[in-house]
Chains A and B, each alone.
Chain A
């Protein structure tokens, strides 16, 4: 660590010049380049190897109700358990009726944009998916899921994306930043990832110092943290790299190619993510959180809280997908939550912590347009603990398949560090 500062600066300068000339020959249309004023003045990364996608991992914090997201309208028990909260079947006359997927499942009517992507085969859903052991504690369940372990207590401290990046060579050999977590603290899934940083707002990530003193202070601050064997040194090293990197991207003038993003935290995070991915800085993974899914009371599946959360999710993902699909960027999005909610609604017009849920995978390189997974049924005797959608697909199967086929990890099972885990691909790719 001690000598990194200066040599690496020079190295970066050198790369900058070569990249500038490289960029002129990139296969982008000149019109696209001319209009893309937000693009980094220079791109840092070497030509990206095309053997893998950028991973965008979206975590729905609080336990998202998979049964409202992907509605099993063909299962009569669904309507029995949810007399007031069920989403009406696509044949119903209600304006809140589900958008049919395959005659059995339907999407929440808030997810119109995702419905289109499903029909384009760009969206796959894995239902009755989750952890191999039920855990109704948000914190324990999130922890295990992000760590990638099946059973508590987990001895692992690093996250599944962190270990994946540790086990693979960088997508671009000289990338300064391989993973970015949108938020103040690094997501557990990213912990352990080499060259990763939490960034709450990519647009304003630089040292705030009095004009005229910034450069001098920055230089000395760099030294303060370069000369120490302190655990903070690594974090600061990545921070300075990230500052440099993000400064070259003009987020404020970034324009989506597919209409405006929703004016929400998720929308803004995905817009920044799109800018980051398109700027080809060699980023491999971005983690984005969205909260509020813990709908214990007045869930508002049709016109309340859950409906607006789903709408925000669907619209943000829809714009993001189409925005990136028009670019040469390659990406796969995974959407997950720590658990689903009780199949049976509670007395507060809400649902309590459950078990199985639905996972979503979006990308142009997947076999979408299908709901994957074995449906366990919702009859009382089929429910887990008499109250929850059972889990028939270990969520790690979804991740393992994507890790191998979309993220170029030759040994995805190693990521989960669990001898009892045997990969069994679902056919997502």
Chain B
């Protein structure tokens, strides 16, 4: 856990309005927001009963690998086949992004800058790099066609959590996001771990910059084992924590005063404890210098506890809470046999026969909000409400302070649902709506039953229960204008219990 944020004086508050203004600078390519061509592909038979057949699998795969299912994506996956869709998603560079990354670079230039550039430009007020990184995160979640990459980035962002608003975070975390998390998200775990262990953002956040010979600071060493690799109860002792901390002495980043450029990783040999150490029963001989860290990371990344811990994490994210031991074992074996290949583990975790038996998961707040936008093919017209909802729900990206990352459990998020309903209620308001859907998705002229069925198709793929349909239809019948009824039908569908899950 980190010390720096402590008093709060250094901590940047989240500024939804400024983040919203940032987001206004970017309008996504039309190709990424276009609704499906026809509304005729309803999963309902004429008698109103659903007819899914094999489409359920595609639905599930889209749900689990994106920041929100949409009818257009469902159709795409059905067209190309789920295996080929997954193959391409696992090789994101092969997926055309219609220039989205270029737009992000242009609209949010701080996401491309070095730590030194950021520190010089924003030393007095670090708000800009903070809101731009958050805005870029949201734009990618909303519109990137490389959706699986975005979900994996989300997983590692929490796994290797760093508080963007804390201390040097505004200058260092944007670099970490670009060169650690996003660069290695689908690669080898050892590379990701190595990049993270050398990331100035991480070293500052977990105060390894003050870990020096004779006065070890075990903050990073402990979280490295407990949260990043072995997991709690993964077979390490207090002695191991101390020994790993000694291996990391002198492992720091440039401050401008210690000879290295600000915000670049550096190893200060005179601060390094060069005596012999022993980590998890393996001796690290004296005189290893900067190689000590590589040895520790090798030991940790090859440890069976790490394979199990990472397998559990991946399954928890993509399969569901408390995956059965036999499934964890399979993915852990894949981790071990592939040399810690994240892509191989994901293939295993996302295999269809595992996915069909996966339990429903509660969407986390960001996922809930993005899925509302994605599902309705809406133009996000009120960014303020989007951001203030995210803030009220306590899920602003990169703003989780403790190093364990935002939770991904129903127990944590299910207590606070009101801001989700707020968002839904404001989403399609007649005046100043948050979301302006493509006109083709407002089925104003149809009957109440047909309209409800359409909302069901568009947002729930026909999964609306009677307990949801009845109040929605009753509400529509009691609403004065057809136009308003159409809007509120969509709003209530977004607010329904079914839409909270995926």
A295 within 8 A of B: yes
In angstroms, Cα B6 to Cα A292, docked, is: 4
Contact of A220 with B421 at beta-carbon distance under 8 Å, contacts A140-B232, A232-B497, A348-B207 already known: no
Counting chain A CB atoms within 10 Å of each CB, the highest count among B2, B233, B421 belongs to B421
**CB distance A228 to B207 under 8 Å?**
no
Q: Which single member of A227, A232, A293, A348 contacts B6 (CB below 8 Å)?
A: A293
Contact of A352 with B217 at beta-carbon distance under 8 Å, contacts A137-B222, A213-B425, A227-B467 already known: yes
A224 within 8 A of B: yes
In angstroms, Cα B418 to Cα A140, docked, is: 30
In angstroms, Cα B488 to Cα A293, docked, is: 46
Contact of A292 with B412 at beta-carbon distance under 8 Å, contacts A138-B402, A347-B214, A347-B216 already known: no
Q: Which single member of B8, B226, B479, B491 contacts A137 (CB below 8 Å)?
A: B226
**CB distance A221 to B3 under 8 Å?**
no
**CB distance A346 to B216 under 8 Å?**
yes
B7 within 8 A of A: yes
User: In chain A, what residue has the closest Cβ to B249?
Assistant: A347
**CB distance B418 to A292 under 8 Å?**
no
Per-residue contact bits, chain B 395-425, to A (CB 8 Å; 1 contact, 0 not): 0000001101001001111111110011001
User: In chain A, what residue has the closest Cβ to B227?
Assistant: A139
**CB distance A184 to B416 under 8 Å?**
yes
B393 within 8 A of A: yes
Q: How many residues of B contact A (CB 8 A)?
A: 64
B80 within 8 A of A: no
In angstroms, Cα B419 to Cα A206, docked, is: 9
**CB distance A347 to B210 under 8 Å?**
yes
Q: Which residues of A (281-310) have their CB < 8 Å from a CB of B?
A: 291-299, 304-306, 308-309
B17 within 8 A of A: no
A239 within 8 A of B: yes
In angstroms, Cα B1 to Cα A296, docked, is: 9
**CB distance A197 to B421 under 8 Å?**
no
Contact of A297 with B407 at beta-carbon distance under 8 Å, contacts A184-B416, A217-B491 already known: no
A153 within 8 A of B: yes
**CB distance B214 to A235 under 8 Å?**
no
A185 within 8 A of B: yes
In angstroms, Cα B217 to Cα A99, docked, is: 30
**CB distance A292 to B475 under 8 Å?**
no
**CB distance B7 to A216 under 8 Å?**
no
**CB distance B465 to A292 under 8 Å?**
no
**CB distance B7 to A292 under 8 Å?**
yes
**CB distance B415 to A228 under 8 Å?**
no
Nearest chain A CB to B165 CB, angstrom units: 13
In angstroms, Cα B232 to Cα A62, docked, is: 17
Q: Which single member of B5, B9, B232 contacts A139 (CB below 8 Å)?
A: B232
Per-residue contact bits, chain A 144-165, to B (CB 8 Å; 1 contact, 0 not): 0000000011000100000000
Nearest chain B CB to A356 CB, angstrom units: 16
**CB distance B492 to A224 under 8 Å?**
yes
Q: Which residues of B (206-233) have their CB < 8 Å from a CB of A?
A: 207, 210-212, 214-219, 222, 226, 232-233
**CB distance B1 to A294 under 8 Å?**
yes
**CB distance A305 to B226 under 8 Å?**
no
Contact of A347 with B215 at beta-carbon distance under 8 Å, contacts A153-B233, A210-B430, A235-B415 already known: yes
Contact of A231 with B7 at beta-carbon distance under 8 Å, contacts A217-B425, A224-B492 already known: no
**CB distance B216 to A227 under 8 Å?**
no
Nearest chain B CB to A193 CB, angstrom units: 11
Q: How many residues of A contact B (CB 8 A)?
A: 68
Nearest chain A CB to B162 CB, angstrom units: 15
User: In chain A, what residue has the closest Cβ to B404?
Assistant: A139
Interface of chain A, main secondary structure:
loop
User: In chain B, what residue has the closest Cβ to A233?
Assistant: B497
User: In chain B, what residue has the closest Cβ to A140?
Assistant: B232
In angstroms, Cα B362 to Cα A232, docked, is: 10
A379 within 8 A of B: no
User: In chain A, what residue has the closest Cβ to B392?
Assistant: A200
Q: Which single member of B211, B222, B471 contacts A223 (CB below 8 Å)?
A: B471
A366 within 8 A of B: no
**CB distance A232 to B500 under 8 Å?**
yes
In angstroms, Cα B236 to Cα A390, docked, is: 22
In angstroms, Cα B22 to Cα A214, docked, is: 30
**CB distance B404 to A225 under 8 Å?**
no
Nearest chain B CB to A350 CB, angstrom units: 6
Counting chain A CB atoms within 10 Å of each CB, the highest count among B211, B216, B226, B415 belongs to B415
In angstroms, Cα B212 to Cα A197, docked, is: 45
Nearest chain A CB to B268 CB, angstrom units: 14
A207 within 8 A of B: yes
**CB distance A348 to B217 under 8 Å?**
yes
B116 within 8 A of A: no
Counting chain B CB atoms within 10 Å of each CB, the highest count among A138, A181, A183, A385 belongs to A138
Q: Which residues of B (1-33) have their CB < 8 Å from a CB of A?
A: 1-3, 5-9
Contact of A221 with B472 at beta-carbon distance under 8 Å, contacts A230-B497, A294-B6 already known: no
A205 within 8 A of B: yes
**CB distance A297 to B210 under 8 Å?**
yes
**CB distance A207 to B415 under 8 Å?**
no
User: In chain B, what residue has the closest Cβ to A240?
Assistant: B418
B496 within 8 A of A: yes
B126 within 8 A of A: no
Q: Which single member of B9, B467, B479 contacts A228 (CB below 8 Å)?
A: B467
A264 within 8 A of B: yes
Q: Which residues of B contact A207 (CB under 8 A)?
A: 418, 421-422, 425
B297 within 8 A of A: no
A353 within 8 A of B: yes
What are some 20 contacts across the A-B interface (CB < 8 A)? A137-B226, A152-B233, A197-B415, A207-B418, A210-B426, A210-B430, A217-B488, A223-B474, A225-B497, A233-B497, A292-B6, A294-B6, A295-B6, A296-B3, A299-B3, A304-B7, A346-B215, A347-B214, A348-B210, A350-B3
Known: A217-B491, A347-B215. 12 other contacts (CB 8 A): A62-B1, A138-B1, A139-B402, A200-B416, A210-B430, A216-B479, A221-B425, A227-B468, A235-B415, A295-B3, A297-B210, A353-B218
Nearest 6 pairs of A and B residues by beta carbon: A347-B215, A184-B394, A348-B210, A292-B6, A227-B467, A223-B471
